[in-house]
């Protein structure tokens, strides 16, 4: 019988041990890269809690009369942000961090130094870029705009009683409906009126 026609009794390995190790290491490396790549990242680094020494230092520091206040506002309905800079009110000159926190209790003080204070606040209102359609306290449908950053100002009273609107519109307008321009607001009213 010819040697070439004989089949070996044992199957021979097609892949070497070195190739298996290399393939396993490659798969492991890809898994690590995927885990790192899929790990959620925050948009900004979380603010660290001040340590005890910093808190103690803030307690003894007092605000300069020329202190700059940097206020970061976030408007929850539209998610826009606004930063405004202003000088410290004269009655807070010489005051401590605790005094400032008491005067601005709705704000979160994020940094405190005699010459500059940074604070942030989230507001449940539209930012100054929007016109807001909603009822006023007397029940009249009005157009408002956030002209001050933290308060709405009346732009126009529309002469329509809020209670006369269909229920679906009342529900939509109760908390205020924001528009990017007065033209968009007027178009919405025209569609609602038809």
The pLDDT tens digits for 36-91 are 565 554 444 444 455 555 555 666 799 999 999 999 999 999 999 999 999 999 99
Q: Which two tokens stand for residue 43?
A: 């948009």
The residues spanned by each domain of the chain are 53-123, 131-193
Question: pLDDT class for 181, splitting at 50, 70, 90?
Answer: very high
3-state secondary structure (DSSP) of residue 59 = helix
What does the pLDDT average to over 144-149? 91
What distance in Å separates the CA atoms of residue 126 and residue 79, rounded to the nearest whole number? 8
- Alpha-carbon dihedral of residues 31, 36, 38, 40, nearest 10 degrees? 160
What does the pLDDT average to over 145-159? 91
* Architecture per CATH, 53-123: Roll (3.10)
Question: pLDDT class for 148, splitting at 50, 70, 90?
Answer: confident
pLDDT recorded at residue 46:
47
């Amino acid at each position: 019988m010819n040697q070439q026609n004989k089949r070996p009794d044992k199957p021979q390995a097609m892949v070497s041990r070195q190739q298996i190790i290399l393939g396993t290491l490659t798969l492991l490396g890809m898994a690590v890269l995927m885990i790192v790549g899929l790990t959620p990242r925050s948009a900004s680094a979380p603010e660290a809690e001040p340590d005890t020494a910093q808190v103690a230092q803030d307690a003894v520091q007092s605000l300069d009369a020329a202190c700059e206040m940097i206020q970061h506002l976030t408007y929850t309905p539209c998610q826009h942000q606004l930063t405004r800079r202003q000088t410290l009110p004269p009655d807070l000159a010489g005051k401590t961090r605790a005094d400032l926190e008491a005067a601005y209790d709705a704000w979160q003080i994020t940094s405190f130094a005699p010459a500059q204070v940074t604070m942030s606040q989230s507001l449940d209102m539209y930012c100054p870029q929007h016109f807001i359609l909603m009822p006023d306290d007397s029940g009249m449908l009005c157009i408002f705009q956030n002209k001050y950053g933290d308060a709405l100002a009346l732009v126009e009273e529309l002469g329509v009683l809020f209670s006369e609107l269909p229920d679906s519109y009342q529900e939509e307008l109760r908390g205020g409906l924001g528009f990017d321009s007065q033209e968009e607001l007027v178009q919405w009213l025209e569609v609602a009126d038809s």
